[in-house]
Amino acid sequence: MKYLMAALLLAAVAAPAFASDDACLMRRYVDGWGARDEHSMIVNDRFGRKYLVKLAGVCGDLDFAFRAGFRSFGGPSMCIERGDHVVMRGGGAFPHSTCWVTKVMRYTPDMEHADRAARAEHKPLDAY
């Protein structure tokens, strides 16, 4: 009986983390990234999904970093979320930079198309 109660409690706690929320970029599934601009990056997961990760302030060395990783100082969430850090290594004026994550959202094909069109026309990217 106590195992059943523990399983139910675990399921209730874990349900939000494993819900079908497309904005949950799980740390262990990160499989590549690229700078979108000085305020955001596009992160790919191993399933081919793309996420827009918005960052606090200006992360000017994002274009030049050789490596980037996510660090969490919060709770037990498996998802990258607001308050986590992006830690960058190599390249640029500041070879060891850290930026705060402010928002994580799916990077849709429409967003990607709009960004591509804006770059082609030398216009600023949408803020989303």
- Beta bridge partners of residue 106, listed in sequence order: 51
Q: What CA–CA distance (Å, rounded) separates 30 from 37?
A: 19
Token pair belonging to 37: 């601009």
Q: What is the pTM assigned to this prediction? A: 0.75
pLDDT tens digit sequence for 29-84? 999 999 999 899 999 999 999 999 999 977 877 777 778 888 887 667 789 999 99
Q: What CA–CA distance (Å, rounded) separates 18 from 20?
A: 6
Q: What are the domain boundaries of the chain? A: 21-120
pLDDT of residue 38: 85
pLDDT tens digit sequence for 72-120? 876 677 899 999 999 887 765 555 678 899 999 999 999 999 999 999 9
pLDDT of residue 57: 77
Of the candidates 62, 64, 80, which has an alpha carbon nearest to the alpha carbon of residue 72? 80
Token pair belonging to 6: 């523990």
Q: What CA–CA distance (Å, rounded) separates 68 from 62?
A: 9
